[in-house]
Amino acid sequence: MSDEADETAERKMQFLFALRSKGVTDARVLTAMEKVDRGPFIRGYFAERAYEDMPLPIACGQTISQPSVVGLMTQALKVSARDKVLEVGTGSGYQAAILSLLARRVYTVDRHKRLVQDATEIFNGLDLTNIIALTADGSFGLPDQAPFDRIIVTAAAEDPPGPLLAQLKIGGIMVVPVGQSDAVQRLIRVTRHESGFEYDELRPVRFVPLVEGLGRDG
C-alpha cells in the first residue's frame, strides 16, 4: 500500500474504534458510518480535523455533531430499510447521509437555505438519491410528507415539538435533545404506541438550539 492509502486506512480504523469505545455497537450503523466520509461535509480551516471525534463549526454559525453522538442517535432511532425518516436540522448533511444508507427515504430540513444548498450539492456528488433536503422551519415538521416512521431532531428544543409528535406513525420513534440551549440537554427517545407516547432518557448531550422561523439567508 502507498503511504497515503496506509494513512487513510489507519485514520478509518481509529475513527471506528472511537465510535465503538463510546458505545456505537450496531453493525448496520457502523457500516454506514464507515462508508460515509465525514471529510466533504466540513469545509475550510477545520477540514483536517474531520476524522476526530469532536463537533466542528460549519457555515451559518452552526455545528456538525460529534461522530459518536451521530452514531448513538442513529442507533437509538432503530432505522429499518423500509423507513421514511424526517431529520430536523440538516446542518452539514452528514447525519442525513448516514441515514440515507439505512432508510428508504430521508427528508431533511434546515432553516438556513445556504446549508440546504451546500448539503444538496454533496448528496448529489455522492449519488445519495433518496435524500430530499428542504429549507423550512422544522419545528412544524413536514405536514405534506407526514406521517414518518422515524424523526430525528439535531437541535435542542425545550420540549419535543407537538407537530413532530403528531407526525410520528404509531410504532414510530423520535430522537430529540431536550432542554435549555445554554445548558447540557437530555437526549430523549419517544416511542409512539396506540395508547400514547413512551419517553426514554438516553444521555446528556449539547446541541445548538432549535430556533423558530427561517434564517436570514433563506
Positions touching ligand SAH (CB under 6 A) are 62-65, 88-89, 91-92, 94-95, 109-112, 115, 137-139, 154-155, 208, 210-212
**5 vs 133 by CB, closer to ligand SAH:** 133
Cβ atoms of residues 138 and 153 within 8 Å? yes
The torsion defined by the Cα of 162, 163, 165 and 166, in degrees rounded to 10, comes to 120
Cβ atoms of residues 65 and 54 within 8 Å? no
Smallest separation (angstroms) from ligand SAH to the CB of 64: 4
C-alpha cell recorded at residue 26: 450496531
**4 vs 40 by CB, closer to ligand SAH:** 40
- Among candidate residues 2, 21, 65, 139, the one labeled active-site is 65
DSSP state of 208: P
Provide the pairing of β-strand 168-178 with 185-193: antiparallel
Is residue 80 annotated as a catalytic residue, yes or no?
Answer: no
**170 vs 184 by CB, closer to ligand SAH:** 184
Smallest separation (angstroms) from ligand SAH to the CB of 131: 12
Q: Which residues are catalytic?
A: 65
